[in-house]
Amino acid sequence: MACNESDAWPVGPSKPQLLTTMDGGVQIAAALERPDRYAFFHKAEDALQAIPRGAGFSFAAASFGADVISIDLRSFDRVLDFDSLSGHIEVEAGISLGALFEFLTPRGYYLPVQPGHHRITVGGCIAANVHGKNPARDGTFVTQVESLRLFHPRHGCLELSPAKEPTLFHATCGGVGLTGIIISARLRAQRLPSTSLCVAHHQVATIAEGASLLREQSAHRDLTYAWFDCARFGHTFGRGVVVTGEFASGQRGAPAVKLPPSRFSPETRARLPFTQLNPVSVRLINAAYSRSLCRSNQTNVPLAKALYPTRASELFLSLFGRRGFHECQAIIPHDKVTAYVEQVRERASHGRVCIALAVAKPFDGKSELVRFDGSGVSFAIEVPRTAAAAQFMREIDRLVVQLGGRPNLIKDSRLPREIFEATYLDCDRFRSVLRQWDPQRVFRSELSERLGL
C-alpha cells in the first residue's frame, strides 16, 4: 500500500497538469489528484474548489477548470455487489464501461444505454446523463440508475435515489459533477438476449427521409442511428444510411470477452497539428464508409463492436489534428427537421465549412434541469476547427434556439451561456438546487463558469 502519510481531501495546492477537451477547444493547466483510498472522502470545512473527473472524454471542459482541483476517480473501479437474479449491480464510479461489460456479459447481462467508448466511466455517464444507441426507446443513462452514493466535503457521504433525496438525485444525474463526487452507483442491468446484433442498413436520399425512418424504427429496435453524407452541397446533400439493429436470436450469456486496450485520450487524440479533413478527403472517406455500410443489407455485428466502435471513432477524431473540431449535437423537434437541415446546408455552403460528420439519433424524452433530452431527432455535426467553423457554429446556435431545439452541453466546449439559457428552460431550478445544497459552491468547472451554473 505504498502511500503518503495523508490521503485526505486536498486542502493545499496540487501540481498542475495540462488538461484539454476532446474537441481541442479548451486547454487549462489544472491541478489533478488521483485518490485511491476512502480516507480521501472525509469531511473538510476548508475544502478547496474541486470537480470530479472520469476518463476525461467529454467534449466540453466539464471535469476541469481554472483554479479548480480535478479529482480523477479511476482508481475507484470495483464491482461491489451483483445480484444474478435481478441484474442489479453496484459499482464504484470510476469503473469503465468496458470493465463493466467484461463483467456482465459472461453473466448474461448488459447495460442498454451506453456511449460509444469503453473507457468512459460510469460516474461520467451519470454526471453527463449520456444516451445510448436508441434513446427514444431506452431513455438516457439515469433510467438505469437505481441509487448512488454522493460525497461532498461539507456534507459527507449521502445515499441518493429517486425515493430518497429525489431532488439531489435528479440534480446529480446529468448535473455535470456540480453536486459532488459520485462514489458508487447501483445500476439496473438488463438480460442479454444474445451476443450479437442483426444490423440492417437502409439507404435514404435525404436527411428528412432518414429522420422519419429513424422515428418509425425507434420503437422496436435495439439500435437506431443514421449517418449522412453532408460533404456535397448539391442535391445529394444529406444522402445517407439509417442503421437499425436488434439482438440476433441466440443463446443468453457469452464467453468472457476482452475488449481491445486503448490509450486514447483528449491529450493524445491527434499526432499532427493540422486537420486532414477537407472537402476532398471527407468525400473520399464518406464514399468508402457509405460503400462499406451498403455492401450488405444485413449483417451480424458482435455486441462489443456495436456498443463501442472504438477504433473507427479514435481514427476519425485523430484526423481533425491537434487543432481539433467543433461538434454541435442538438435535439430538433420532428416538425422542424426539414427547416434545420436546409438552413445547415445553406450556412455550411455559404461559409465554405466542411461538415466532416453528420449523424442522427431519435429522442423521445423530457428534459429536466440541465439534462440533454427531449422529443425529436438529435443531429450531431462535426466540423474542423477553423475561423469559418466558429462563425458557422454561432449561426447554428441561433438556428437551434429559433427552431426550439436543445444543444448538448457536454458535446460543445464553446456553447455560449445565452444559448444554453434559451434552450434549457429549467436551468434556473438547477441553479437553485445547487445554491441550496452547496452555498459556497465547492464544485466548479470551466463549463459551470461559462454557463453561469
Partner 1 sequence: MSTLVLGASAGLGRALARELATRGENLVLVARDGRDLAAEAANLRTAYGVAVDCLALDAAVPHEAERLTGLPNADAIRHLIFPIGMGTEDDDGLLPPSRVAALVNTNLTSVMAVVSLFLPQLLAADSGTVVGIGSVAALRGRSHNITYAAAKRGLESYFESLRHRTAATGVRVQFYRLGYLDTQMSFGRSLPFPKASPQAIADIITRNLGKDIGCVTLPRFWRPISWVVRALPWPLYRRLHF
- DSSP-derived 3-state class of residue 256: coil
- Contact status: 32 vs partner 1 (CB under 8 A): yes
- Contact status: 15 vs partner 1 (CB under 8 A): yes
- The alpha helices in 319-353, defined as continuous H runs, are 337-350
Q: Tell the burial category of 393 from Cβ atoms under 10 Å away from its Cβ (0-12, 13-18, 19+).
A: buried
Out of 11, 13, 18, 38, name the contact with partner 1 by CB under 8 A.
38
Cell 439509417 belongs to which residue? 242
Which helix or strand (DSSP H or E) is residue 75 part of?
Answer: none
Out of 50, 64, 65, 92, name the contact with partner 1 by CB under 8 A.
92
204, 227, 237, 239: which is closest to 353 by C-alpha? 237
Using the rule CB under 8 A, give the single segment among 33-41, 110-118, 135-143, 305-313 that binds partner 1: 33-41
Give Cα 22 to chain centroid, integer Å: 11
Out of 2, 85, 163, 387, name the contact with partner 1 by CB under 8 A.
2
- Contact status: 39 vs partner 1 (CB under 8 A): yes
- Contact status: 263 vs partner 1 (CB under 8 A): no
Nearer to partner 1, 81 or 426 (CB): 81
Out of 13, 66, 67, 78, name the contact with partner 1 by CB under 8 A.
78
Using the rule CB under 8 A, give the single segment among 53-61, 73-81, 277-285, 364-372 that binds partner 1: 73-81
Least Cβ distance, residue 74 to partner 1 (angstroms) = 11
Using the rule CB under 8 A, give the single segment among 72-80, 117-125, 337-345, 366-374 that binds partner 1: 72-80
- Contact status: 298 vs partner 1 (CB under 8 A): no
303, 305, 308: which is closest to 120 by C-alpha? 308
Sorted by sequence, the CB contacts under 8 Å of residue 328 that are 6+ apart come out as 379, 380, 381, 393, 396, 397, 400, 407, 411, 412
Using the rule CB under 8 A, give the single segment among 78-86, 132-140, 158-166, 394-402 that binds partner 1: 78-86
**Total residues at interface with partner 1 (CB under 8 A):** 26
Out of 7, 146, 267, 395, name the contact with partner 1 by CB under 8 A.
7
Contact 238, 355 (CB under 8 A): no
- Contact status: 82 vs partner 1 (CB under 8 A): yes
Sorted by sequence, the CB contacts under 8 Å of residue 437 that are 6+ apart come out as 152, 155, 168, 171, 179
- Contact status: 5 vs partner 1 (CB under 8 A): yes
Nearer to partner 1, 263 or 291 (CB): 263
Pairing label, strands 223-229, 239-247: antiparallel
- The alpha helices in 146-205, defined as continuous H runs, are 166-172
Sorted by sequence, the CB contacts under 8 Å of residue 274 that are 6+ apart come out as 321, 322, 323
Contact 247, 193 (CB under 8 A): yes
- Contact status: 18 vs partner 1 (CB under 8 A): no
CA–CA separation, 56 vs 450, rounded Å?
18
Cell of 349: 455552403
- Contact status: 284 vs partner 1 (CB under 8 A): no
- Contact status: 267 vs partner 1 (CB under 8 A): no
- Contact status: 251 vs partner 1 (CB under 8 A): no
53 bridge partner residues = 72
Using the rule CB under 8 A, give the single segment among 12-20, 165-173, 202-210, 425-433 that binds partner 1: 12-20
CA–CA separation, 209 vs 242, rounded Å?
10
100 to 139: interface string for partner 1, x by CB under 8 A: ---x------------------------------------
Using the rule CB under 8 A, give the single segment among 14-22, 208-216, 338-346, 355-363 that binds partner 1: 14-22
The footprint of partner 1 (CB under 8 A) covers 1-5, 7, 14-15, 17, 32-39, 75-76, 78-82, 92, 103
